[in-house]
Copies of this chain bind each other. A is one copy, B any other.
Amino acid sequence: MPTINDVAKAAGVSPSTVSYVLSGRRPISAETRARVQAAIAELGFHPHAGARALASSKTNVIALVAPLRVDVNVPVIMQFATAVVTAARSYNHDVLLLTKDEGTAGLERVAHSTMVDALILMDLERDDLRIPALRKLKQPSVLIGLPADHTGIACVDLDFGAAARTALSHLAGHGHRRIGLVGPSPAVYRRQTTYADRFLAGFLEASADLGLRTVTHPCEPGAEGVRSCMADLDAELDGLTALVVHNEEALRPLLDLLRATGRRVPEDISIVAICPRDVAISMPVNLTSIDIPAHDVGTLAVETAMRLLEGRRVEYTRLLEPSLVERDSCREISTSHR
């Protein structure tokens, strides 16, 4: 492996000049620059990352802390990860992948040993123990999610409260007055993953504002979970004409159940789902849905991190506006139901 010294000799300049050609931090004449670049190309020189990190205290690596349990939401997590890696590369950074289950120790390890310049975390819980640890690090961090006390830490996410409101307004606009929420599984609420709470709060608020009759229920995974969730919803409020579904896993069994029980979508019952686009269009009925913009969120997280690294100001809480896409699962309510 050639070093910067080899390049310098080949180009007949000093190593520092090569460095300045590479970094552009000082003006270098066009001829010299050309000569240096030729030498770099010819020798196939790549600066040694460790040496660089040591001398400059910059690694050009960011950490991504992902929940690598394999249960739920895998595609969404993957979308986040893809977006983060792609965006990071566009800023000439690489991504070190950590698992959530290393907890606080993992963060501290990579931060203290100066392996990364910044951290991006996903799947934050309401009172996430990692937050205080993050505050102590010299590297900045960006959260995908919105834990309770996030002062001083940048957060990026979909505005789940607004998403709930958007869903309900859409249904209300189509004349629906009795609406059920099929929520995430109880496990999600238990973990206090923040999007669930925020969605529920927005739902209840909008329901009141719009004067709707609504009922909400978490939904266990699997066909049985869906059956009992629907039973509960029906029991607590009869004449449901629409459902908001904030639970990707439940979608397919729910549609199966509705079909089996003779409730047609959207003729008898309308549905708005909160899920990634590709999930919405892979169902037997193309679902009117509010997208979970994993790509945008991931990209924005990286952009925010980069801004932070440049010492620029950032908005510390960025909640992306939800956007509802109409497909085939919502219909103006038939007058008989009004």
Q: Are B112 and A1 in contact (CB under 8 A)?
A: yes
Q: Of B64, B77, B222, B223, which is within 8 A of A78 by CB? A: B77
**A residues 169-199 touching B (CB-CB < 8 Å):** none
Q: Of B44, B52, B74, B113, which is within 8 A of A46 by CB? A: B113
Of all chain B residues, which has the CB nearest A111? B46
Contact-residue bracket for chain A: 35 or more
Q: How far is the CB of A43 from chain B (nearest CB, A)?
A: 11
Q: Contacts A49-B50, A52-B50, A74-B78; is A64 near B97 (CB within 8 Å)?
A: yes
Q: Of B52, B54, B61, B68, which is within 8 A of A82 by CB? A: B68
- Expressed in whole angstroms, the Cα–Cα distance for A78 and B68 within the complex equals 7
| Segment among A88-96, A201-209, A317-325 that sits at the interface with chain B | A88-96
**A residues 205-225 touching B (CB-CB < 8 Å):** 222-223
Give a binary string over A35-56; 1 marks a CB under 8 Å from any B CB, 0 the rest: 0000000001011111111100
Q: Are A49 and B96 in contact (CB under 8 A)?
A: no
Q: Are A96 and B99 in contact (CB under 8 A)?
A: no
- Expressed in whole angstroms, the Cα–Cα distance for A86 and B100 within the complex equals 11
Give a binary string over A119-138; 1 marks a CB under 8 Å from any B CB, 0 the rest: 00000000000000000001
Q: Are B252 and A61 in contact (CB under 8 A)?
A: no
Q: Are B64 and A70 in contact (CB under 8 A)?
A: no
**A110 touches B (CB below 8 Å):** yes
**CB-defined contacts of A278 to chain B, threshold 8 Å:** 70
Q: Are A53 and B61 in contact (CB under 8 A)?
A: no
- Expressed in whole angstroms, the Cα–Cα distance for A114 and B51 within the complex equals 10
**A75 touches B (CB below 8 Å):** yes
Q: Are B112 and A97 in contact (CB under 8 A)?
A: no
**CB-defined contacts of A102 to chain B, threshold 8 Å:** 89
Binding site for B on A (CB under 8 A): 1, 44, 46-54, 59, 61, 64, 68-70, 74-75, 77-79, 81-82, 85-86, 89, 94-99, 102, 108-110, 112-115, 138, 222-223, 252, 278, 282, 284
List 8 additional contacts besides A1-B138, A74-B78; criterion CB under 8 Å.
Answer: A48-B54, A50-B51, A50-B54, A68-B81, A68-B86, A82-B99, A94-B96, A94-B110
Counting from the closest, the 5 A-B pairs by CB-CB distance are A50-B53, A46-B112, A68-B82, A50-B54, A97-B97
